[in-house]
Structure 1
Amino acid sequence: MGPTSSVLSPSGVPLYEQVKRAVLAALSTGEWKQGEAIPPEKLLSERFGVSIGTLRKAIDELVMENILVRHQGRGTFVAIHSQNQHFFKFFRIVRQDGEKAYPTTELQSFRHMPASDEALEKLRLPRGSRVFEFVNALSLHGEKVIVDTICVSDVMFRGLTQQQLRERPSTLYSFYQQMFGINVIATDERVRVAVADAYHAGLLNVEPGAPLLELRRVAYSFHQTPVEWRVSKVNTRHYEYIGQEHLINS
């Protein structure tokens, strides 16, 4: 189960929050993997040197954030997102009449390349790092609406191939979890106005210079670890962005 002594220390941070961070640290090191049960509350409370009530408050928050899931009579497990049940938590483009749809994705390009300065900063990578960069065109209701340019570390996603991306059977974040054990639990997304260059205009079937929405996203795994840097260009002629707040544990 790992160390049995408390990892907590006196500080201005509430005790349950310290427990929550300690559980996230254990998850980030792979101590408990997706689909596995975490130890019973009694053992965890002994491990962290806290009361059952304090331990339960920390676990309750992780359940509310869809990081853990409780199964009645069986225990608490690390959440599995393979059924795409959290898709619309991170996908926020809907038709203007409110109709939601799962996109159809077409991989446009795939490169293994030196990380740009922006990717180094967003993914917190050391100078000289390399990344996988791939571009997806997403269609909704038969119309190309979004172009995603995505960068991930070649160390964290070691062995990623173009074929894997083309043939993945589920959403991208489910693919990250299933193939690489990487769980996306939060995002930081910023919105800008942009204009279509020739490349994006061709993919989105708009005129060069047409207005687009630009979404700039960093996706995080446990313990605030950045795992993906994404820039999305969106044609909002028939679609709009629904803003949602996703807090990252500090």
Structure 2
Amino acid sequence: MGNTRRELITGGAVAAGLISAAQQVRAAFSEQPDHVTIDGYDDAKADIETYQPLLDLSNLEVRPNRQYAWRARSEEYGADWYCYWTFYTDQQGIDEADSHLPDREPVYVAVSDGAVDRVVYSTWHYAAETDDDPSQYDSTHPRLQVIAPWHGHQPSESGGEFVTLDDLSGVYGDWLANGWGVDRRSVVDPPHAEDRGNWWPESQQRDHKLAVWFHELTGGWVPDTFRLDT
């Protein structure tokens, strides 16, 4: 018995949806260099948990609900990179222009010969800071304090907690499709973020410099014109 027109239309819509999803995934990883291999959380679970940052969340009103992670490795890297993006439902800044939905903040942990070599993390407005000698919990977990209310990071010697982990590769494409403003290569090629000093798109580097300048000048307020949807 042949398919009805409705079945054919439904089947065509499903097929189109699958093709669109596949195209979305390809686009999301289009900046990934050929020499880089990305292992999702399920494929590198033990190691991703071993190097997960310990975050001091004690001063936050908005707490994270997930931390999405993967591992990036390459023979051209001097270390394996464990990339953690902590997800917050919103950022409640000091005014409406400084607030947005949602918020995602990165911590990259470079590991060489089983030891933490250095950590690259976001500070103010996706600026990247490198710590070559981070304080560590249990010898493998970098300690960082999350800064309220913007959710950037700073070094910490205090206790903290581990945010529930999930697979970054499972949400990365959706985040981009929903308007996440980020430099894509800095997500799939971790040393690139360290080299360029931030996670802002290349087309918005001027705005990034102005956002950081306004933040330092005013103690936190940034005009909406220079705010990145993170």
Q: Common fold, TM-score beyond 0.5?
A: no
Q: Which has the higher strand share?
A: 1
* Larger radius of gyration between Structure 1 and Structure 2: 1
TM-score normalised to structure 1 length: 0.27
TM-score normalised to structure 2 length: 0.28
